[in-house]
Structure 1
Amino acid sequence: MGATVTVLGASGKTGRAVAAAARARGLTVRGTTRDPGRLLADGARAVEPVAVDLATGEGLVEAFTGADAAYLVVPNVHPDEVGIVRRALRAADEAGVARLVYHSVADPDDRRMAHHLRKGEAEELLRAARPGTVVLRPAAYQQNLLPAVLAGRVEVPYRLDAPFSLVDLGDVAEVAADALTGRLPDGSTHVLGGPEELTILEVAETASRVLERPVEAAATTAEAWRAGPGAALPPSALSDLLAMFAAYDESGFTVDPAPLARLLGRPPTTWADLLTKETR
């Protein structure tokens, strides 16, 4: 078995994918989680679960001790992104972790979205303290839309013709594993976008063709989304997501697809590729 890496939030969507990709490279993986039993229940028995409270930093030093590298990913739209990264940095220094990789977002300087700005601030913190930190900046995941599409209807609170560079989470995780093994240059930053620009209408049209059954695309209002799916969210997450939807409505979310293809050394996964794989 190769080097040991610690993946924050290994029971979350991104953490699970990164942990699996790291395991596929022969790395020993520790995964932090608030509930180790949940991580085991997810089928990640090849990942050593470590109980960590990201809100306080409790358990981080233990999780990082003996690790050669750490992947820092914070729960989506978390209001204390910078605080969590600061505590993780402090613990990584104390534990002697040599390599850090930070999961940021494409366009971290977009002032329309507070959660993007928090990631930008966390990047600055890491660069100042650890200039060798590798930063990954993914676009929105294809997988975010997959459950709704497979159910036959994708409804979004922004215009259906807004363009997106949807990226496959598996491709992102493959690049993350490269970063954890030191294959990416120290201090480098990488924008990770999918190989095609798709609107929600095109997402549904492609799905209808690949799945050979109707998939509907529908637009709802921000007010209806707030009263429906957003009703149970904490105020900070609700505010962040509504701001994100407004930005999407204005300009979509697209990035240059070339960097991901260069990093993978192969064509990145298309939306049709993912649908085909998921329905085999």
Structure 2
Amino acid sequence: MIVLVIGATGKTGRAVTRALASHGIAVRAAVRSADRQNTAYAAGAQSISVVDLESGAGLAEGVDGVDGVYHVAPNVHPDEAAIADRVATAAASAGVRRFVFHSVLHPDDASMPHHLRKAEAERQVRAALPGATVLRPAAYHQNLVDAARSGRLAVPYSLDSPFTNVDLDDVAEVAALVLTRHGHEGVTYELAGPEALSVRDQAVVATDVLGHRVTAEHVSLESWATGPGSNLPEQARAHLLAMFTAYDRHGLVGEGDTLHRLLGREPRTWADLLRAAAP
């Protein structure tokens, strides 16, 4: 079996590549340019296809002869729905049997514009490939592991909002499963972690597991916008600021039963990830 992984050099694409390779599946990595191929090879890809998602150049060659496609779009991309349509249409034309689209938890939440783009991308994928599988993961535990190790969880939203964060490698394992086994065609899966924790809760757990003090700190939206967010395109920055405001109101919470059922084991918790990352 050969699977084309779109977005293969990003953190999600690398994790999916590793999971597929661990199951003996040959991965063809779609990369923006040949100078990024070493990153894909390091994750376990066996071949490379240079693809321009914005123009579609290279897509026909990329999907030619593959059995499955895993599509994760560039983060906060303004043209995500058109890209999804382009990729799914190319896969359908090539007769690809399995197609998995990487969406997001609560894609129809109108308070987060980039989530709505995921919802539209889902519709484009389903129009071209009714049998496609859609994964809707929560935020990753990995997003905060390095910050916890440094001793400071600083976020531009409420420290008390709940999140059912998920282990990226658990998501990747589900991706490998639905790409290689029957019975997941046309299904949408919400992938949330097994516990609801606020950032303040995460700091407490991290302090206990890592053995050093980890603080939870709120930073203003203005500080984020002029600091970490200053190099982003204007629309991406605005949409992430909208997301932080939504997090202030209700966090990002899903139900964890589906992930547990698909994995056939307990999903990894925040403490599990920290133990693995401890020196």
**TM-score normalised by length of structure 1:** 0.96
Quote the offset at 1:124 in angstroms: 1.3
- Structure 1 residue identity aligned to 2:30: T
CA offset digits 1:175-221 (Å, max 9, x no partner): 00011113442101100000000100111111111110111110011
Structure 2 vs 1, CA of residues 47 and 150 (structure 1 numbering), >3 Å: closer, same or farther?
A: farther
Distance 2:78 2:21 in 1: 30
| Aligned-residue CA RMSD (Å) | 1.3
Gaps of 5+ in 1: none
Distance 2:270 2:46 in 1: 29
User: Are the aligned partners of 2:30 and 2:50 in contact in 1 as well (CA < 8 Å)?
Assistant: yes
- The answer to whether the aligner puts 1:124 opposite 2:128 as a matched pair is no
User: Are the aligned partners of 2:81 and 2:118 in contact in 1 as well (CA < 8 Å)?
Assistant: yes
- The answer to whether the aligner puts 1:104 opposite 2:103 as a matched pair is yes
Distance 2:268 2:66 in 1: 31
**TM-score normalised by length of structure 2:** 0.96
Quote the offset at 1:45 in angstroms: 5.0
Match of 1:13 in 2: 11
- The answer to whether the aligner puts 1:179 opposite 2:170 as a matched pair is no
User: Are the aligned partners of 2:7 and 2:30 in contact in 1 as well (CA < 8 Å)?
Assistant: yes
User: Are the aligned partners of 1:178 and 1:184 in contact in 2 as well (CA < 8 Å)?
Assistant: no
Map 1:226-237; keep pairs closer than 5 Å. Answer: 226-237=225-236
Distance 1:208 1:105 in 2: 29
Question: In structure 2, the residue corresponding to 1:145 is in which secondary structure?
Answer: helix
Distance 1:141 1:183 in 2: 27
Quote the offset at 1:90 in angstroms: 2.1
- Structure 2 residue identity aligned to 1:192: L
User: Are the aligned partners of 2:21 and 2:44 in contact in 1 as well (CA < 8 Å)?
Assistant: no
Question: In structure 2, the residue corresponding to 1:85 is in which secondary structure?
Answer: helix
Match of 2:112 in 1: 113
User: Are the aligned partners of 1:40 and 1:49 in contact in 2 as well (CA < 8 Å)?
Assistant: no
Distance 1:10 1:113 in 2: 25
Distance 1:34 1:106 in 2: 26
User: Are the aligned partners of 2:102 and 2:134 in contact in 1 as well (CA < 8 Å)?
Assistant: yes
Distance 2:217 2:140 in 1: 19
Quote the offset at 1:263 in angstroms: 0.6
Distance 2:15 2:39 in 1: 15
Match of 1:189 in 2: 188
Map 1:63-142; keep pairs closer than 5 Å. Answer: 63-142=62-141
CA offset digits 1:48-76 (Å, max 9, x no partner): 22211111111111111110000011011
Structure 2 vs 1, CA of residues 149 and 183 (structure 1 numbering), >3 Å: closer, same or farther?
A: farther
Match of 2:156 in 1: 157
- The answer to whether the aligner puts 1:206 opposite 2:187 as a matched pair is no
Runs of 4+ displaced beyond 6 Å: none
User: Are the aligned partners of 2:28 and 2:45 in contact in 1 as well (CA < 8 Å)?
Assistant: no
Distance 2:181 2:265 in 1: 20
Distance 1:17 1:36 in 2: 20
Match of 1:23 in 2: 21
Match of 1:223 in 2: 222
Distance 1:180 1:60 in 2: 19
Number of equivalences: 278
Question: In structure 1, the residue corresponding to 2:43 is in which secondary structure?
Answer: coil
Gaps of 5+ in 2: none
Question: In structure 1, the residue corresponding to 2:48 is in which secondary structure?
Answer: strand
Structure 2 vs 1, CA of residues 275 and 118 (structure 1 numbering), >3 Å: closer, same or farther?
A: same
Distance 1:205 1:239 in 2: 31
- Structure 2 residue identity aligned to 1:136: L
Distance 1:79 1:13 in 2: 20
- Structure 1 residue identity aligned to 2:12: T
Quote the offset at 1:235 in angstroms: 0.9
Map 1:33-52; keep pairs closer than 5 Å. Answer: 33-41=31-39, 43-44=42-43, 46-52=45-51
User: Are the aligned partners of 2:141 and 2:165 in contact in 1 as well (CA < 8 Å)?
Assistant: yes
